Amino acid sequence: MCGPLLLLFGGLLALPGTLTDPISPPDLQLWAGLDLFSRGDWAGAQAQLWGSVRSLRELREVRLRCGTECKLRGTQGPQLEEAVLSRADCLLGCEKLLLGEPSLYRLTQETERVFQRGLPYNYLQVTHYKLEELDKAAAAAFTFYVKNPHHEQIQEDIQRYRRMKEIQEPSFQDLEQPQYKTVYAQALSLLSEGKFRVAVRRLEDSLKIYLMEHEDCRALCEGTREQESEIYKDFSYAISQYYTEVLQCKQNCALEPTLRPSGEHSKQDPLISHLSLLLDIYTKLEDWEAAAEIVRSLLLFQPQNETAKERLRGYEERLQGKNSDKLRESIVSYVRRTLSEKRLLYYAMEHLNISFNDPDSWTPEEIIPESLRDRVKKEREEKDQRTLPFEEVTVTLTPKQMNGTTRVTLDGVINEEECQMLQTLGQAAGGPGSGFRGRLSRHTPRERIQGLTVLRALQMAASGAVDSSHARLYYRASERARVLAQSYFGTEKLHFSFTHLVCRSAIEGEQDSRNDFSHPVHADNCILDPEERECWKELPAYVHRDYSGVLYLNDDFQGGDLFFTELDATTVTAEIRPSCGRLVLFGAGGENAHGVRAVTQGTRCAIALWFTKSAVHAEQERSLASDLMVGSDGHKQNKESETKNTGRETSGRETFASKEEPERPSGRRQKKRVNRKFEDEL
């Protein structure tokens, strides 16, 4: 079995320095860096932390290289066992040669996760900041932010960096951005300049690079694993289990966060995004042959897509039978391989009781064994819930349950106490004095209404008219709603169009035989025309609004349900009872005509939100409010985040100082402990 090792040397020569210069284990550097950090040795910490990031990258490169060098040869019958053993021998030899003893560079899964979450970058941004290297600080912070977009501390830090005049916009770059994204972005910008021919070439490059990076992700799935339990298992079963684990990991590369397009948590498969965009451009360029080829490839993912089929027929007519079955080879083999892996995984799921979470939503039904279809469908719906960015938020009513497509009801967005605080804010907003209950509603003479924008709330807080923590909560809660809308609907970045905290109160003695609404049926971005059963998307409607949301604060009132209708404004398709922390999100168009039933007793408070995809239409007020959040309320907030930073350091120091001597991670178990401690702090 020395064949493969000999073969290896040819390849190794191309990797200069590695033989004499073994990789310093990334985990050891990480712990050393955190240790120095806790003592305030910023420069030392920085060197170690960057070292750990670099080592990890090198480690991965070596793994990829060894994987390619050690191909599985001969894959049938008894030859298979021999080939597997021979590959193992080759890999071990290769890695030993390049990296040293396995015990040095094998990371525990927990450490792997620490790196995946980009933790070193969060410390690096602090060290660079302390050393007054602001551009580098911004880049490290941004890199951590991309991996953890919902991390509140990093959001605030980024805002702080953005307001520093010394930092140029290009500094906010993701240092771990996969290469394809850079190229994809170039293609998009060429496209926006109308340079279609150049753009399409860049996009084709991006597609090729994406496929290569995806391949690397898959190759790394064959790394070592920690065995969780050591239960005795039959030989074949043990192998099946390991094999399915590797397959599952490979399938998940379609989801690999760093490999996904940067519309934050876009649900779109990058491969499908590439193909759809290519299709658009080739159509614009009237390159029917290429367009037909792409649409055929797209149909591999969605064989039932009638729109796509029609388009294909159109192209084929123009081509008059020329190249009538050309397909992208790379896409065909991608789909074929993915599907054959899925077949195995579903087989294992059906017969071996091994779990499999299919990451793709395009998996054709016939691949899934009949006995599993219901279960898979249910699990997929549950997974949709789990992928929400806030753990405590759940999907109460799916779009389907709400008898629509772009509507959803979420619960747990804010808690009881927060509802109370916001209600207090909403009611204080009417103005000073206790008796004042707002102006008459524009929609009904039987309710009073009072409203407050985020900016107004923060301004009132600044002048001491309302509690500052309430106003800040208002800002944060609306931000949560924005992030939820963006991630649930899988859209590009959403901007605020308008936000309004509104309380409606029933006027006592005016509630008999009411048959009007608190808010009559309407749509948010078009003019509803029930007679024509149309919704006209034209001014004076707010045509740029794309999504709407209502975050409810209470339920101690009568009436006031939200309801959706068809375009006739009378056929009710869904009705939702408000309650504290419940957020209803929906598309702002005619498909979601809606109204609010009369509030006949008590006061109903809610935050109404409108979002737009268009940065141009983002409301000015929001950025003023954001300045107030970090600025004027002012020095206080600045100090707050300062102490947050120093708080992090000192508490780090305390944890170490409380021991006789700073803890030096050496053994595996110790490492894990230190690592947990730091995770809690950040």
Ligand X SMILES: *[C@@H]1O[C@H](CO)[C@@H](O)[C@H](O)[C@H]1NC(C)=O
Tell me how far apart the alpha carbons of residues 140 and 126 are, in angstroms, rounded to a whole number: 9
CB-wise, 58 or 293, nearer to ligand X? 293
Answer yes or no whether residue 403 interacts with ligand X by CB under 6 A.
yes
CB-wise, 84 or 572, nearer to ligand X? 572
The residue count for the chain: 682
Contact 481, 473 (CB under 8 A): no
H helix or E strand, kind and range, residue 502: strand 495-506
Answer yes or no whether residue 575 interacts with ligand X by CB under 6 A.
yes
**CA-to-CA separations, 136 to 130, 166, 315, 498, in angstroms, rounded:** 11, 12, 50, 35
CB-wise, 298 or 674, nearer to ligand X? 298
CB-wise, 446 or 594, nearer to ligand X? 594
Q: Residues with Cβ < 8 Å from 671, sequence gap 6 or more? A: 27, 31, 108, 111, 665
Binding-site member from 34, 278, 574, 607 for ligand X (CB under 6 A): 574
Tell me how far apart the alpha carbons of residues 247 and 238 are, in angstroms, rounded to a whole number: 14
Q: How far is the CB of 516 from ligand X (least distance, A)?
A: 22
The mark string for 212-251 relative to ligand X (x by CB under 6 A, - otherwise) is ----------------------------------------
Q: How far is the CB of 354 from ligand X (least distance, A)?
A: 8
Binding-site member from 302, 385, 398, 424 for ligand X (CB under 6 A): 302
Tell me how far apart the alpha carbons of residues 544 and 546 are, in angstroms, rounded to a whole number: 6
Tell me how far apart the alpha carbons of residues 498 and 370 are, in angstroms, rounded to a whole number: 47
Q: How far is the CB of 422 from ligand X (least distance, A)?
A: 25
| 352-391 binders of ligand X (CB under 6 A) | 353
State the DSSP code for 622: H
Long-range contacts of 652-658, Cβ-Cβ distance < 8 Å, separation of 24 or more: 652/34, 652/37, 652/38, 652/678, 652/681, 653/38, 653/39, 653/40, 655/38, 656/35, 656/38, 656/39
Answer yes or no whether residue 402 interacts with ligand X by CB under 6 A.
yes
Contact 257, 147 (CB under 8 A): yes
Cis previous bond, 4, omega within 30: no
Contact 255, 359 (CB under 8 A): yes
Q: How far is the CB of 359 from ligand X (least distance, A)?
A: 17
The mark string for 277-296 relative to ligand X (x by CB under 6 A, - otherwise) is --x-----------------
Near ligand X by CB under 6 A, which window of 235-243, 245-253, 302-310, 643-651?
A: 302-310
CB-wise, 91 or 574, nearer to ligand X? 574
Answer yes or no whether residue 556 interacts with ligand X by CB under 6 A.
no
Near ligand X by CB under 6 A, which window of 192-200, 299-307, 313-321, 506-514?
A: 299-307
CB-wise, 405 or 623, nearer to ligand X? 405
Q: How far is the CB of 279 from ligand X (least distance, A)?
A: 6
Q: How far is the CB of 402 from ligand X (least distance, A)?
A: 5
Answer yes or no whether residue 593 interacts with ligand X by CB under 6 A.
no
CB-wise, 129 or 586, nearer to ligand X? 586
Tell me how far apart the alpha carbons of residues 411 and 425 are, in angstroms, rounded to a whole number: 21
CB-wise, 114 or 278, nearer to ligand X? 278
The per-residue b/e assignment along 193-203, b for 16 or more CB within 10 angstroms, e otherwise, is eeebeebbebb
Tell me how far apart the alpha carbons of residues 349 and 368 are, in angstroms, rounded to a whole number: 10
The mark string for 304-323 relative to ligand X (x by CB under 6 A, - otherwise) is -x-xx---------------
CB-wise, 192 or 353, nearer to ligand X? 353
Near ligand X by CB under 6 A, which window of 398-406, 514-522, 583-591, 648-656?
A: 398-406
Contact 103, 91 (CB under 8 A): no
H helix or E strand, kind and range, residue 112: helix 109-116
Q: Residues with Cβ < 8 Å from 169, sequence gap 6 or more? A: none
Q: What are phi and psi of 529, to 5 degrees?
A: -125, 85
CB-wise, 495 or 597, nearer to ligand X? 597
Contact 516, 611 (CB under 8 A): no
Q: How far is the CB of 405 from ligand X (least distance, A)?
A: 11
Binding-site member from 298, 312, 345, 349 for ligand X (CB under 6 A): 298
Q: What one-letter code names the amino acid at 518?
A: S
Tell me how far apart the alpha carbons of residues 162 and 170 are, in angstroms, rounded to a whole number: 11
Size of the site for ligand X (CB under 6 A): 14
Binding-site member from 91, 397, 452, 521 for ligand X (CB under 6 A): 397
Q: How far is the CB of 309 from ligand X (least distance, A)?
A: 9
Task: Return left, alpha or beta for 659; rule: phi > 0 is left, psi -120 to 50 is alpha, else beta.
Answer: beta
Near ligand X by CB under 6 A, which window of 182-190, 240-248, 298-306, 469-477?
A: 298-306
Per the DSSP assignment, residues forming a β-bridge with 529 are 534
Near ligand X by CB under 6 A, which window of 122-130, 195-203, 297-305, 543-551?
A: 297-305
Q: How far is the CB of 436 from ligand X (least distance, A)?
A: 36
Q: Residues with Cβ < 8 Å from 630, sequence gap 6 or more? A: 156, 159, 160, 163, 637, 638, 641
Near ligand X by CB under 6 A, which window of 256-264, 384-392, 395-403, 481-489?
A: 395-403
Near ligand X by CB under 6 A, which window of 366-374, 394-402, 493-501, 630-638?
A: 394-402
Q: How far is the CB of 349 from ligand X (least distance, A)?
A: 10
| 325-354 binders of ligand X (CB under 6 A) | 353
Query: Is there a catalytic annotation at residue 604?
Result: yes
Q: How far is the CB of 575 from ligand X (least distance, A)?
A: 5
Other C-beta atoms lying within 10 Å of the C-beta of residue 311? 19
Q: How far is the CB of 393 from ligand X (least distance, A)?
A: 18
Binding-site member from 116, 171, 268, 276 for ligand X (CB under 6 A): 276
Q: How far is the CB of 511 from ligand X (least distance, A)?
A: 25
H helix or E strand, kind and range, residue 506: strand 495-506
Cβ neighbourhood burial of 287 (10 Å; 0-12, 13-18, 19+): middle
CB-wise, 12 or 249, nearer to ligand X? 249
Tell me how far apart the alpha carbons of residues 359 and 383 are, in angstroms, rounded to a whole number: 10
Which one of the listed residues 63, 218, 604, 648 is annotated catalytic? Answer: 604
Contact 485, 494 (CB under 8 A): yes
DSSP reduced 3-state for 414? coil
Near ligand X by CB under 6 A, which window of 55-63, 301-309, 503-511, 518-526?
A: 301-309
Contact 477, 551 (CB under 8 A): yes
The mark string for 140-169 relative to ligand X (x by CB under 6 A, - otherwise) is ------------------------------
CB-wise, 269 or 479, nearer to ligand X? 269
Tell me how far apart the alpha carbons of residues 281 and 6 are, in angstroms, rounded to a whole number: 48
CB-wise, 425 or 584, nearer to ligand X? 584
Catalytically annotated residues: 604
Residue ranges that bind ligand X, judged by CB under 6 A: 276, 279, 298, 302, 305, 307-308, 353, 397, 401-403, 574-575
